Amino acid sequence: MHKLLVGVVALLASTSLAHPTFAQQAVAALEASRVVIAPAQSDLGRTIKSGLSAAYYGARPDTAAHEEAQRLYFLYGERHFEPIWLSEDAVGKVTFSDAADKLIAVFENAEAEGLRPSDYLTPELDMSRLKGDSIALATLETAFTSATMRYAHHIHNGRIRPQSVNELLDIQPKPINEAAILERLVSGEDPVAIFNELQPHHPEFLALRKALASFETDTTKRPTPIGNGPVLRPGGADTRVPAIRERLKVTASTSTSSFYDELTVDAVKMFQEGQGLEVDGIIGPATVAALNGGAATRREDIIANMERWRWMPSDLGDFNVFVNIPEFKLTIQRNGKPEYTTRVVVGTTKNQTPIFSDNIRHVVVNPYWNVPSSIIKGEIAPAVLRNPGYTDAKNMDLLYQGNVVSPWQVDWSQVSTSYFPFKVRQRPGADNALGQIKFLFPNKHDVYLHDTPSKSLFGRSSRAFSHGCVRVENPMEFAGALMANEPNISRASLEGMFGPSERWVNPEHQIPVHLAYFTLRADPDGTLRSYGDVYGHNEALIAAMGLAPTAAPAIIAAVETAPEELAP
């Protein structure tokens, strides 16, 4: 070996990976290109190749180990499998490069980023290997590159695969140009600055990061989070009442009583008003979550919400729709600032709204509701078999091979819930489950934003009642705000289309829409607000990350019930 580091830097430069703008080079999607595996040209290179080949072909496909082994094999293959981090001095002593030493310091400080140092400072990074043979050196070399790329992916995409928490977290990792990152790291650039470019830049992520940094050093005594429990109404009793009374600084002669007295009710109403909640004095999951915000926030909640920000797209769009499911709220954002907000109803815990990002492409006025097969099988088919007049009563059509058929012309003795050959749609009208308008972003989950005739549910504090779609409280106001950039579409023009016929409108500009899940939100001043874990995703992620909860969480274990209704 002769000055290995110098040789590798020259080799990296020969790949033409100049970086005039790292935001374009390192984070942009990799263009499809032919992978070139250059032959090893040294004994150490051949040893590295042998080890990487064994790891690559020995790993089970569709696993994280296989993906990591493949990335390493291709990265080193482009470089004749020569080492990146090892260098040799004039007398033949092999050492880690200065660049590698800087990275070790980054790994040691991983907790400040909500990550685990042990994920990167693995047993394979044993410095005694520097005195070993070529196999020991190759193991050390490739283990360090693996740790470096793992850190880059974790800082950019999070360390937990979303689907491993719940399959409805339909989020794909953002690509990273690993070769460009390595080139900059090897050249001696500040690794902290490089990795910061891969971090989310959203103000709420930065606020969470700041809150994590101050969490351990903050000497303010943190109150114990108020635990989960049944909905508490004025005049009731609950063992949590004294803690709630203490949190709200209510002084009364009955301060130790579990009775939910009038003085405490008034304090709760004032708190609800200040938090933008329904001012009803009822202590449900949303109020408990809000009480557990701010100083009562758990460290693991901060880390879990940082992780979810890493799952989000790097660019949400200058003009976008952001639905936060635990908050039951929709916001139109322009240049990072809220321009319009409204309440929403989301899916039940049984029929959860999926988490993903897409683009609104169509607005449909007077929509038909094409009933999902799951609702047909579970609800409509049994109802029709009991009463063939059910579809007419619900303003619905039975469709067979695309044609409308009368339920009175069907021999129902030949039909069952397991064999129900019909599709079902609900015709436009005042009672249509989608109301008068829907907003489409075609996706495999068949969910969208829409109006609803069931307006009363928007008055609830907890609003998880749908079959998975997102119902909008003020859909025409939302439509007007959504079409703010469309010269030929307005709220008035859409309302002018109201009638018996379905009308499709295609905006000139696709609008990014994000169905997100954050149990902590940060105000512009950095104040954290807490929301209930309606689907349990937060606690599941905390468990997946190996974080031990410090107190009982405020999970919505039992959502308020509403009358059974047929709606998406």
- Active-site residues, by number, are 450, 469
Tell me what pLDDT residue 286 has.
Answer: 80
Tell me what pLDDT residue 127 has.
Answer: 81
Instruction: Return the ∠ at Cα 342 (arms to 374 and 520), rounded to 5°.
Output: 85
Which letter, b or e, does each residue of 295-334 get, where b requires 16 or more Cβ atoms within 10 Å of its Cβ? ebbbbbbbbbbbbbbbbbeeebbebbbbbbbbbbbbbbbe
**112 with 199: CB under 8 angstroms?**
no
What is the C-alpha to C-alpha distance for residues 432 and 470, in angstroms, rounded to an integer? 15
Conformation bin of residue 486: beta by default, left when phi > 0, alpha when psi is -120 to 50 = beta
Question: Of all helices (H) and strands (E), which one includes residue 547?
Answer: none
User: Shortest CA distance to 566 belongs to which of 371, 363, 420?
Assistant: 371
Tell me what pLDDT residue 550 has.
Answer: 63
Cα Rg for the chain, rounded, in angstroms? Answer: 29
Q: Where in the chain is the domain with CATH 2.40.440.10?
A: 316-368+429-522
Give backbone dihedrals phi and psi of 82, rounded to 5 degrees, phi first.
-80, 150
Q: Which letter does DSSP use for residue 31 in this model? A: P
pTM of the model: 0.82
What residues does 464 pair with on adjacent strands?
Answer: 346
Q: How many CB atoms lie within 10 A of CB 350?
A: 9
Instruction: Return the ∠ at Cα 471 (arms to 468 and 472), rounded to 5°.
Output: 150
Q: Which two tokens stand for residue 159?
A: 């360390």
**292 with 222: CB under 8 angstroms?**
no
Tell me what pLDDT residue 443 has.
Answer: 95
Residue matched to tokens 């009822």: 282
Per-residue pLDDT tens digits of the chain, which is 568 residues long? 433 433 333 333 333 333 333 334 434 433 444 567 888 888 878 888 888 888 888 888 888 888 888 888 888 888 788 888 887 666 667 778 888 889 999 999 999 999 999 999 999 888 877 787 778 888 888 889 999 999 999 999 999 999 999 999 999 999 999 889 988 998 889 999 999 999 999 999 999 999 999 887 765 667 778 887 888 899 889 989 888 888 888 876 566 788 898 889 989 998 888 877 788 888 888 888 888 876 667 899 999 999 999 999 999 999 999 999 999 999 999 999 999 999 999 999 999 999 999 999 999 999 999 998 888 998 999 999 999 999 999 999 999 999 999 999 999 999 998 899 999 999 998 889 999 999 999 999 999 999 999 899 998 888 999 999 999 999 999 999 999 999 999 999 999 999 999 999 999 999 999 999 999 999 888 888 888 899 999 999 999 999 976 655 544 444 445 555 666 7
- Chain-centroid distance of CA 479 in Å reads 25
Q: Tell me the pLDDT tens digit for each residue of 114-161.
A: 999 999 999 988 887 778 777 888 888 888 999 999 999 999 999 999
What is the C-alpha to C-alpha distance for residues 123 and 146, in angstroms, rounded to an integer? 13
Q: Which two tokens stand for residue 8?
A: 């590798």
**Class for the domain spanning 316-368+429-522:** mainly beta
Tell me what pLDDT residue 5 has.
Answer: 35
User: What is the 3 state secondary structure string of 305-358?
Assistant: HHHHHHHCCCCCCCEEEEEEHHHCEEEEEECCEEEEEEEEEEECCCCCCCEEEE
User: Shortest CA distance to 338 belongs to which of 325, 329, 347?
Assistant: 329
Question: Of all helices (H) and strands (E), which one includes residue 515?
Answer: strand 511-516
**175 with 28: CB under 8 angstroms?**
yes
- Chain-centroid distance of CA 105 in Å reads 29
- Burial of residue 501 (CB within 10 Å: 0-12, 13-18, 19+) is exposed
Conformation bin of residue 266: beta by default, left when phi > 0, alpha when psi is -120 to 50 = alpha
User: What's the N-to-C CA distance of the chain in angstroms?
Assistant: 66
Conformation bin of residue 365: beta by default, left when phi > 0, alpha when psi is -120 to 50 = beta
